[in-house]
Amino acid sequence: MTEELKTQGTDHLVAIADQFALQGKVISVQAFGSGNVNDTFLVTLDASAEKHFVLQRINMRVFRQPELIMQNMRAYTDHVRQRLQCSPLNRRWEVPRVLPTKNAQDYWRDTNSSFWRAISFISASQSFDTMQSSSHAQEIGYALGMFHNLISDLSPEKLADTLVGFHITPLYLQHYNEVLTKTSVRQSPEVNYCLQFVSDRQLLAHVLENAKTKGKLPLRLMHGDPKINNVMFDTATQKAVSVIDLDTVKPGLVHYDIGDCLRSGCNPAGEETTAWEDIYFDTELCQEILTGYLSVAKAFLTENDYIYMYDAIRLIAFELGLRFFADYLAGNIYFKVKHPEHNLARALVQFKLTESIESQETKIRAIIQDVK
Ligand code: GN1
Ligand code: MG
């Protein structure tokens, strides 16, 4: 939670939560999850039916037009709900619901003009920050495949661009270069490692955007942030039941999602570790995730989609490292941090992961051939 919200106290939060509490009284509002951008709370009600919902304050430094997020979320959830009604799945699958305010609005602005919205909590479900088992990995892949499958017939133009430049790696590189020219970098072995790491990979940044421009990869709808803890698991069956965090559902490449899911799911140490020597890309988990993903996604992927899969895995790990490192150099403006070196530590994790991916290129390419 930000300092500003802490000073405003719990009463302020309860009053905001109350705007969305159509049934029951708000009992508590607690900080929830480990998001790097928005502020997230779990609200508990004394209602008999739905006892919880998720309350979020959208970070407007990142999402300049939060109304567009809500518009997209409506379009996405309406489409998917309709599809599931017409052709139900033979397993539990949930779509988060946007909860209206008492004035029947999608969001609430408080006295500071902060943008608040509420989303249903998927009952009897949980998420994990690191991979639990190989069947867990298959389920993560299945969840992303199902997510893509359910929107594969929704035209990308139907959704707005809620975050311009998101996952366009050359733009992150440009921003990084701009930051570098403006900043007097405090040298250290870690900083020097990062500077060299980026400098050695200038060409890599363009791989997916070039493929997009050449028409090799089509513009589709994507999730934008399918990291491991955005997949919810049924607490009893331990099967994936939902993909949450829909802020970045927008036109893009499914490769951004494939790369993001694998860079997150195949890093057993997790993205918040500081034990850099332990970081590696786990190819067995990669095989499981891709198997789960392709069990659903094979139906809509083309030959070119497979050709660029390895590049996507390598690129998105590198890109996230670049984003963290640039933010560290810029003074921690974009990502929330617990201490001033936090984004540097996060960048090192992603760069070490990228190194591990690069050193296993042959193996990863063989896995992609094998599972397709
Ligand atoms: C951010 O806020 P959160 O944790 O859902 C970021 C993602 C990164 C992720 C890394 C809008 O997501 O792109 O992959 O941190 N979201 C945005 O943990 O920038
Ligand atoms: Mg997110």
The CATH homologous superfamily for domain 134-371 is Aminoglycoside phosphotransferase (APH), C-terminal lobe (3.90.1200.10)
CA of 224 to the centre of ligand 1 (A): 9
Question: What per-residue confidence (pLDDT) applies to 269?
Answer: 95
pLDDT per position as a tens digit, 73-118: 999 999 999 999 999 999 999 999 999 999 999 999 999 999 999 9
Ligand number nearest to the C-alpha of 33: 1
To test the pocket of ligand 1, the residue of 62, 130, 227, 343 to mutate (highest count of ligand atoms within 8 Å of its CB) is 227
Minimal-distance CA residue to ligand 1 atom 19: 37
What does the mean pLDDT of the chain come to?
96
From the CB of residue 63, how many other CB atoms can be counted at a distance below 10 Å?
A: 18
Question: What per-residue confidence (pLDDT) applies to 3?
Answer: 64
Domain 3-123 bears CATH identifier 3.30.200.20 = yes
What whole-number percentage of the chain has pLDDT above 70?
98
Minimal-distance CA residue to ligand 1 atom 12: 36
Question: What per-residue confidence (pLDDT) applies to 334?
Answer: 98
Minimal-distance CA residue to ligand 1 atom 14: 225
pLDDT per position as a tens digit, 264-285: 999 999 999 999 989 999 999 9
Strand partners, 3: none
Question: What per-residue confidence (pLDDT) applies to 9?
Answer: 74
Please, is 162 exposed, middle or buried when counting C-beta atoms within 10 Å of its C-beta (0-12, 13-18, 19+)? Answer: buried
CA of 36 to the centre of ligand 1 (A): 6
The two three-digit tokens of residue 322, written as one number: 């670049």
CA of 16 to the centre of ligand 2 (A): 22
Closest ligand 1 atom, CA of 260?
14
CA of 155 to the centre of ligand 1 (A): 25
In whole angstroms, give the CA distance from residue 310 to residue 299.
19
Q: DSSP letters of 156-186? A: GGGS--SSTTTT-HHHHHHHHHHHHHH----
Question: What per-residue confidence (pLDDT) applies to 1?
Answer: 61
Closest ligand 1 atom, CA of 163?
11
To test the pocket of ligand 1, the residue of 225, 245, 354 to mutate (highest count of ligand atoms within 8 Å of its CB) is 225
Does residue 132 carry a pLDDT above 90? Answer: yes
pLDDT per position as a tens digit, 31-47: 999 899 999 999 999 98
Minimal-distance CA residue to ligand 1 atom 7: 225
Give the DSSP H or E segment for 43: strand 39-45
User: Which pLDDT band, with edges at 50, 70 and 90, does 7 fall under?
Assistant: low
Could you check whether 3-123 and 134-371 share the same CATH topology? no
Where are the domains positioned within the chain? 3-123, 134-371
pLDDT per position as a tens digit, 281-326: 999 999 999 999 999 999 999 999 999 999 999 999 999 999 999 9
Minimal-distance CA residue to ligand 1 atom 15: 36
pLDDT per position as a tens digit, 139-183: 999 999 999 999 999 999 999 999 999 999 999 999 999 999 999
Please, is 104 exposed, middle or buried when counting C-beta atoms within 10 Å of its C-beta (0-12, 13-18, 19+)? Answer: exposed
Minimal-distance CA residue to ligand 1 atom 13: 225
- Report the pocket of ligand 1 as residue ranges, CB < 6 Å: 35-37, 62, 225, 227, 245, 248, 271, 320
The two three-digit tokens of residue 132, written as one number: 């639990």
